[in-house]
Amino acid sequence: MNVAVTVDAREDIPVWLAYGTPVFTVLAALAVSAIALVVLDVNPIAAYATMFVDTLVTEFGLTETLTKAVPLILTGLAVYLPLKAGLFNIGAEGQLVAGALAGTWIGLNVSLPGLALVPLMFVAAAVAGGIWAGIPAYLRAKWDVNEIITSLLLTFVALELQSYLLRGPMQGGTGNFPQSERFSEAATIPELVSGVHAGLLVAIVMVAVTYVLMTRTRLGFEITFVGSNDEAAQQAGMSKYYVYLFVFVVGGAFAAMGGISEIAGAQGRYRAGFEPGYGFTAIPIALLGRNSAVKVLLAGLFFAVLFVGGSSMEVAFGVPAALVEIIQALVILFLITAEFFKSYRVGIDLKRGPAETPAKPQRGDD
């Protein structure tokens, strides 16, 4: 018997595959992660019930999720926007930290009434995040230096800087913890509804702005054009230089707003290590939502559920919160596997007896 695997590029994607992929990948990731739960002698169904149901039906779970979603949506946008122009920003974490540090400095050292101070903190954060993202953007736009590596490396610079500032010039509070002084009332982001701070509003507005930008404006069209074919875009008279700078700098500003929202809204003071890898989670969020800014919002909410559900599962079953990281990684690994099946039709031919022609795969994989 002879088995030949054929792989052909698909002309178009069937509807069930296009819409089923995110659902299927999430279910597959949960199924595989269940193995880890069984190893720890935890009933996966009970654990997942805690993870998702408690998170979505209790008031505490819901407010936690909405709060957590703020930095996730904003960093998601920070990856989404450059992705639209064909660039990879994997330094959203660094931009978030740089922004949060700048915003915190303003919040602790400038005295203004709350109505003026909080917006100023956001502006300071956005400027710092924009500058932090502007370095890889400029190097890429002007000199073609790979933005993936530079934005990543700058993340580690930002994390060291955070550690330096919170152990030195910006350290406050009691004890030896690397953290800042507590924010005053004026520097705290007010609550929108009970338990949810107004950073959520900022995130939603930024999603709307991005949505309008990408679907209704000439610049959005240029970004998409540069992202799909930069040479054709150049010939059509568009400047790759400005598009690259724009998407990265604005993306960095988004991430930074996420950082200051989390600090001045949810935390109340800058604690070192407050960011459990938001910038890296932003990558799956941007990928899940890469078709539209609204989907970035939904993906951000989904990952917020994962994070919050993960910690309630930790409390209820003693399962390490690291399970969330595993699920997160698996979702994406399955998602990029599914991408392959979206773009290629895989067929298996079973032939009896020795084949007349040697069974050779059609694709050049040997």
Contact set with other proteins (CB under 8 A): 9, 36, 39, 88, 90, 135, 139, 143-146, 148-150, 152-154, 156-157, 160-161, 163-164, 167-168, 277, 280, 283-284, 287, 320, 322-326, 328-330, 332-333, 336-337, 339-340, 362-366
Q: How far is the CB of 122 from other proteins (least distance, A)?
A: 26
Closer residue to other proteins, CB minimum distance, 161 or 316: 161
Q: How far is the CB of 152 from other proteins (least distance, A)?
A: 7
Provide the 10 A C-beta neighbour count for residue 115.
Answer: 9
Q: How far is the CB of 196 from other proteins (least distance, A)?
A: 28
Q: How far is the CB of 94 from other proteins (least distance, A)?
A: 10
Closer residue to other proteins, CB minimum distance, 326 or 355: 326
Q: How far is the CB of 159 from other proteins (least distance, A)?
A: 8
β-pairing, 344-351 with 2-9? antiparallel
Closer residue to other proteins, CB minimum distance, 70 or 79: 79
Amino acid at residue number 12: D
Closer residue to other proteins, CB minimum distance, 195 or 342: 342
Q: How far is the CB of 145 from other proteins (least distance, A)?
A: 5
Q: Rounded to whole angstroms, how far apart are CA atoms 38 and 27?
A: 17
Closer residue to other proteins, CB minimum distance, 220 or 276: 276
Q: How far is the CB of 15 from other proteins (least distance, A)?
A: 22
Q: How far is the CB of 333 from other proteins (least distance, A)?
A: 5
HEC profile of the chain: CEEEEEEEECCCCCHHHHHHHHHHHHHHHHHHHHHHHHHCCCCHHHHHHHHHHHHHHCHHHHHHHHHHHHHHHHHHHHHHHHHHCCCCCCCHHHHHHHHHHHHHHHHHHCCCCHHHHHHHHHHHHHHHHHHHHHHHHHHHHHHCCCHHHHHHHHHHHHHHHHHHHHHCCCCCCCCCCCECCCCCHHHCCCEEECCEECHHHHHHHHHHHHHHHHHHCHHHHHHHHHHHCHHHHHHCCCCHHHHHHHHHHHHHHHHHHHHHHHHHHHHCCCECCCCCCHHHHHHHHHHHCCCCHHHHHHHHHHHHHHHHHHHHHHHHHCCCCHHHHHHHHHHHHHHHHHHHHHHEEEEEEEECCCCCCCCCCCCCCC
Q: How far is the CB of 111 from other proteins (least distance, A)?
A: 27
Closer residue to other proteins, CB minimum distance, 131 or 149: 149
Closer residue to other proteins, CB minimum distance, 59 or 365: 365
Closer residue to other proteins, CB minimum distance, 189 or 324: 324
Closer residue to other proteins, CB minimum distance, 60 or 156: 156
Q: Rounded to whole angstroms, how far apart are CA atoms 81 and 245?
A: 11
Amino acid at residue number 77: L
